[in-house]
Amino acid sequence: MNNEEPIEEYIFNTYEAMDAMYEVLIDGECIAEVLDKSKYLVVFPFDPTLFTSEDIDDMLEHYVKREEYEKCVVLRDYYKNKGGEKNNN
């Protein structure tokens, strides 16, 4: 950690949390594997075993702010094809 990075980024990193959720939902990664490979303490912003339409909306908003439009398209298509609610793992 360099002196310019706030300690909060090591305690809770929003980008890392949303990327972890994306990997579980879209890439089908196991929750344990996602946690093991993270260099941060990952605090999931919502239940990683049950994705709701609100969760996907939150993820879409996050990726729009980051201008990661490819992920937005994937999430939109996932939601459209799955019809909203999704149980995972």
Give SS3 for 51: strand
Query: Is residue 1 assigned to a domain?
Result: no
pTM for this model (two decimals):
0.76
Is 35 part of a structural domain of the chain? yes
Rounded to a whole number of angstroms, the CA Rg of the chain reads 14
Task: Provide the strand spans (E) within 1-89.
Answer: 50-51, 86-87
Can you tell me the distance from the alpha carbon of 16 to that of 67, in angstroms, rounded to the nearest whole number?
A: 16
Please choose, from the candidates 43, 46, 74, the residue with its C-alpha nearest in 3D space to the C-alpha of residue 60.
Answer: 74
The answer to whether residue 64 sits within a structural domain is yes
Domain tally for the chain? 1
In a domain, 2, yes or no: no
The whole domain housing 38 covers 8-87
Helical ranges in 1-68 per DSSP H: 8-11, 14-25, 31-37, 53-65
Question: 11-52, pLDDT tens digit by residue?
Answer: 668 888 899 999 999 999 999 998 888 877 788 889 988 989
Query: Could you tell me if residue 12 is inside a domain?
Result: yes
